[in-house]
Amino acid sequence: MESRSDTLRTILTVAVLFLVATTSPAAALTAGPAGANAGPAAPADVDSNATTNATNATTLTVLTYNDVQTAASNPTRMGRLVGVVNERRQAHDNPTVVVGGGDQVSPSSFSPTSQWRVPVDVLNTLGPDAEVVGNHDLDYGFDAVENYSAASEFPWLVANVVHEDGSGIPGTKNYTIVERDGVRVGVVGLVDDAIKSKTAVDFDEQGYRVADFSRVGSRVATKLKDEKNVDVVVAAAHIGVPESKELARNTDNIDLIVTGDDEVAYAPKTVDGTTIVEAEARGAYVGEVNLSVTDDGVSLASGRLVTVDENSSVNQTAETIVSDARSAQLGEVVGRTNTTLDSRFTSNYKDETAWGNLITDAFRDQTGSDVAVTNAGGIRGDFVIGPGNVTYDDVYTSLPFGNYLVTKRMTGEQLRELLASQVSTTDDNYGAQAQLQVSGVSYEYVPSENASPVVRDVYVNGEQLDEDAHYNVSVNSYMAGWAFEDRYGWSMAELPTTSEDYTLYGTVVAQYIDANSPVAPEDTNRIRRVDSHLGNVTVANPPAHAAKETVTVRKSVSSDIDSVNASSVVLQNATTGALDAESATVEDGELVVTFDQDEFRRLSDASQELELYAGYESSVYGDGYFQHAVANVDVNVPPGQDDSHPGGQPGSGDGGPPVCTV
């Protein structure tokens, strides 16, 4: 059968002969060589609505999706995703292919029960032409890839993960070729080296390496065009948008990059002649890319992200597959919560959450360790639980991985470094984040690029951290493989292991909720962000017979702090919780805060070292997770104040409120 390329060559040959016969010699001389007077090159990023005027072009439509992950257990979302893909596929008379960007079979609430089976059943209903293996598609191990590949009615691709014997991952192919109405489309699968740190499998131990995605992608793309006579090369690349731009700049033979991993909504744009698209994650969008295919090459004709929402059509088959599986596997109620459990990415990455506290409390309860720490990336689902019933589906959607608990013996210094290792600064892509949830430990982190130390005021179960002492710290099995050689000179793997509990970490939490229902976890300021440390003040502990009802704390502030958010101002110690301010203002360069004296005494009787935190406006914040910066004052309350001076200030014996002015 004649290929699309052969057909286009015939048409163009006839057109050229016609032009030669009808164009004047003068006109021919004026035209000059192709592109000679084309002017400046187009900008690197081209508007997604750009069109082409190429003649004799065929439009190829590529529909994309990526990072389904936890949405795989949401019947409505999966029904709508499949419905939109089918609707857009049927809307085009021109050749159309569907390509996935990876991370489709994990994590979801089905992971602890049936692993990849339900997601693959839904993908078979969706009917992609090719899918790339993402990092989470390796969550069940290399051997599982061959199993779910055999159950899939489409190929799984990855070209640059190579075993030491020269083979790829069993069940995968380097590339596939799809032909639609004479247009031959080659799809190559690519990942980046970061895949090794984003899944629980050990690449080195199992003899795998990750080759450079640009080099391999360029080589395979050239082979597809030169040897396999394909018209269009698509890279299904689970590498994210920045790395996709790098790939685009390092090859001339890849026409479209369908990416995933960083989970951003990136409408089709052209970078150095290659179009890039990413459809965020969890079935929020479907990418739709219309490519103009001619003998002269491939270009972006138009493109967009199609929103998947309540107005989208629903594929009943996909919806039923998921809903039936959920009813059979996950519907049982494990307990109740009286407070909201926040499983959203934005909440758990940026700061402490009540849900994160419950999770790590459950870990520590299970292992009996001094401290429990879990990474925010291990908390999924992007949803809120309760108040009300908590089901296995809720727990396993939020904690979908096959992780178990490992308890490590580490020094206080190593514990502080573990906490600091995850702090991101205000100049990072996602801004200031703690990226951990903890139990048994509290600390401040400073999200400044030049901060030293990054983590400070660390307390373990109410006692100040001893950097030379040893602590038992429980982490999930994924974290147990973390390494910090370049930064701190040690790795988690080399630390002594005091225990391993092979109960799935999601099951540990479900059992904890069942045993303690109803639960009511709260945010207890275990993790505290500090942008500006204002220094120390000393404040007298008010005597029981003090006439006034408030304690006032005063501290001079820098010129960039001209007001504070009074509702954000709190005072706390390491054991008994936090006290909200009654009032807080900035007056003539001085922070003035008042507290109820009885509550102040309750805190100071438990600990002479208190911490004051106050939110203030800063240009660093406002567009990201946080709406204000945080200033910190160390408040010292010495013991044994003389009752004749209730304020701790000689001359204030009128019984007025204790005041410290610095």
- Residue type present at position 551: V
Its pTM surpasses 0.85:
no
Query: pLDDT value at position 619?
Result: 73
Q: Residue 511 above 70 pLDDT?
A: yes
Verify that 497 and 539 share a domain, yes or no.
no
Please report the beta strands in 513-589, taking only residues with DSSP state E, as ranges in sequence order.
Answer: 527-529, 532-538, 550-556, 565-572, 578-580, 583-587
**What is the arithmetic mean of pLDDT over 532-560?**
84
Cβ-contact 200, 403 below 8 angstroms: yes
Task: State the chain's mean pLDDT as an integer.
Answer: 87
**What is the arithmetic mean of pLDDT over 372-383?**
93
Task: Specify the number of domains making up the chain.
Answer: 3
pLDDT tens-digit series, residues 274-327: 999 999 999 999 999 999 999 999 999 999 999 999 999 999 999 999 999 998
Q: Residue 250 above 80 pLDDT?
A: yes
More confident residue, 605 or 53: 605
Verify that 622 and 577 share a domain, yes or no.
yes
- In terms of Cβ atoms closer than 10 Å to its own Cβ (0-12, 13-18, 19+), residue 589 is exposed
Does 149 map to a domain? yes
Provide the terminal-to-terminal Cα distance of the chain, rounded to the nearest Å: 88
Verify that 500 and 546 share a domain, yes or no.
no
More confident residue, 192 or 424: 192
Does 326 map to a domain? no
Q: Which of 215-224, 322-331, 566-575 has the highest mean pLDDT?
A: 215-224
Verify that 308 and 353 share a domain, yes or no.
no
Does 601 map to a domain? yes
Residue corresponding to tokens 């946080």 = 626
Query: pLDDT value at position 149?
Result: 98
Query: pLDDT value at position 504?
Result: 86
Does 276 map to a domain? yes
Res. 41 pLDDT band, cuts 50 70 90: very low
Res. 624 pLDDT band, cuts 50 70 90: low
Verify that 611 and 578 share a domain, yes or no.
yes
Phi, psi (degrees; rounded to nearest 5) at 274: -115, 135
Res. 262 pLDDT band, cuts 50 70 90: very high
Write the CATH number for 88.
Answer: 3.60.21.10
Q: Residue 266 above 50 pLDDT?
A: yes
**What is the arithmetic mean of pLDDT over 446-453?**
77
More confident residue, 305 or 523: 305
| Residue 523 CB partners (closer than 8 Å, separation 6+) | 352, 353, 354, 357
pLDDT tens-digit series, residues 163-198: 999 999 999 999 999 999 999 999 999 999 999 988
More confident residue, 356 or 55: 356
CA 377, CA 478: separation in Å to the nearest integer? Answer: 11
Q: Is 193 left (phi over 0), alpha (psi -120 to 50) or beta?
A: alpha
Query: pLDDT value at position 622?
Result: 57
Query: pLDDT value at position 545?
Result: 64
pLDDT tens-digit series, residues 42-98: 333 333 443 333 347 899 999 999 999 989 999 999 999 999 999 999 999 999 999
Does 524 map to a domain? no
Verify that 76 and 217 share a domain, yes or no.
yes
Write the CATH number for 440.
Answer: 3.90.780.10
Does 195 map to a domain? yes
Please say which residue of 319, 353, 376 terminates a domain.
319
Write the CATH number for 593.
Answer: 2.60.40
Verify that 405 and 270 share a domain, yes or no.
no
Verify that 260 and 344 share a domain, yes or no.
no
Does 325 map to a domain? no
**What is the arithmetic mean of pLDDT over 441-453?**
83
**For residue 616, what are the domain limits?**
530-660
Please report the beta strands in 295-343, taking only residues with DSSP state E, as ranges in sequence order.
Answer: 297-307, 333-337, 341-342
Q: Residue 400 above 60 pLDDT?
A: yes
- Residue type present at position 77: R
Res. 7 pLDDT band, cuts 50 70 90: very low
Query: pLDDT value at position 345?
Result: 86
Q: Residue 33 above 90 pLDDT?
A: no
Please say which residue of 287, 319, 351 terminates a domain.
319
Q: How much of the chain, in percent, has pLDDT values that exceed 70?
A: 86
Verify that 549 and 443 share a domain, yes or no.
no
Q: Residue 37 above 60 pLDDT?
A: no
Verify that 231 and 97 share a domain, yes or no.
yes
CA dihedral sign, ordered 113, 115, 117, 120:
positive
Res. 549 pLDDT band, cuts 50 70 90: confident
| Residue 42 CB partners (closer than 8 Å, separation 6+) | 270
Please say which residue of 294, 319, 344 terminates a domain.
319
Verify that 263 and 409 share a domain, yes or no.
no
Q: Among 3-17, 316-330, 374-388, where is mean pLDDT lowest?
A: 3-17
Query: pLDDT value at position 560?
Result: 86
Does 324 map to a domain? no
Query: pLDDT value at position 546?
Result: 61
Verify that 207 and 184 share a domain, yes or no.
yes
Q: Residue 28 above 60 pLDDT?
A: no
